[in-house]
């Protein structure tokens, strides 16, 4: 598009259903749509509206996983953006089968967020600005396009209590080459069990099981 002088005009795609004038109504709407998963204000998304549909899809899949057994319970503890990707933290009491399905739903949201603009939901890529990483489209990207491919090897650990003692229930690592998560032995990581279970970055709320501790193990340029 050009003006009368023939010069290009800077344009920005705006979706009123996503950006909504900068309001955060969509966050409360998600909590209202999934009252069994949220106890506001705890757990409300702390990210841009472009990831709204990723969160809604993950919540729908989580709810479906819980319905298999009436004893399954889960509450979202925190949903945020870190290093340009979507992180979802939870706590609850789940069967092994339900826990696996819940984690797969969250992993899929993580993977999709790495290529989805956090602001508008269109296709995005990694940007770096003043030391911060974000995933955005060309219209919403700030700073510079990251000169490296996303190479953060993220480990997702689910911890719980068995026989009164904290245990690592599952440990899966993200493979940037294949763009998926795979099971990894916790002992292969250079971090102690006690250090992990007491890590400030993990969920400190009481509960038989807690998921969402992300450990950054490295990045190559």
Beta-bridged to residue 211, according to DSSP, are: 90, 158
- Is pLDDT above 90 for 189? no
Q: What is the pTM of this model?
A: 0.76
C-alpha neighbours within 13 Å on the C-beta side of residue 15: 15
- Is pLDDT above 80 for 143? yes
Q: For residues 54 and 60, give the distance between their C-alpha atoms in angstroms, rounded to a whole number.
A: 10
Measure Cα distances from 185 to 78, 129, 182 in Å. Answer: 26, 35, 10
- Is pLDDT above 60 for 182? yes
Q: What are phi and psi of 40, to 5 degrees?
A: -55, 150
Q: What is the pLDDT of residue 149?
A: 64
pLDDT in tens, 87-97: 999 999 989 89
pLDDT in tens, 151-177: 556 788 888 876 677 888 888 888 877
Helices and strands counted in the chain (H then E):
4, 10
- Is pLDDT above 60 for 21? no
DSSP 13-68: ---TTTTGGG--HHHHHHHHH-TTT-BTTBT-EES-GGGHHHHHHHHHHHHHHHTT
Query: What is the distance, to the nearest Å, from the Cα of residue 207 to the centroid of all Cα atoms in its chain?
Result: 20
34-40 average pLDDT score: 96
Residue bearing tokens 């003692």 = 165
- 105 touches 62 (CB < 8 A): yes
Q: For residues 7 and 178, give the distance between their C-alpha atoms in angstroms, rounded to a whole number.
A: 43
Length in residues, the chain:
221
């Amino acid at each position: 598009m050009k003006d009368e002088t023939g010069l290009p005009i800077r344009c920005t795609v705006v979706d009123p259903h996503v950006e909504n004038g900068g309001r955060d109504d969509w966050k409360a709407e998600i909590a209202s749509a999934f009252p069994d998963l949220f106890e506001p204000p705890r757990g409300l998304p702390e990210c841009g509206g472009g990831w709204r549909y990723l969160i809604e899809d993950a919540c729908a899949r989580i709810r479906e996983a819980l319905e298999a057994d009436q004893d399954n319970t889960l509450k979202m503890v925190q949903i945020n953006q870190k290093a340009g990707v979507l992180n979802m933290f939870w706590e609850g009491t789940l069967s092994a089968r339900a826990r696996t399905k819940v984690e797969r739903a969250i992993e899929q949201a993580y993977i999709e967020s790495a290529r989805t603009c956090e602001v508008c939901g269109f296709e995005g890529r990694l940007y770096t600005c003043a030391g911060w990483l974000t995933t955005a489209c060309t219209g919403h990207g700030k700073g510079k396009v990251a000169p490296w491919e996303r190479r953060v090897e993220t480990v997702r650990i689910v911890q719980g209590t068995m026989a009164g003692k904290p245990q690592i229930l599952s440990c899966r690592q993200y493979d940037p080459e294949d763009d998926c998560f795979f099971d990894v032995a916790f002992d292969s990581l250079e971090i102690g069990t006690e250090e992990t279970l007491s890590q400030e970055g993990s969920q400190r709320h009481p509960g038989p099981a807690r998921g969402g501790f992300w450990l950054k193990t490295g990045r190559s340029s």
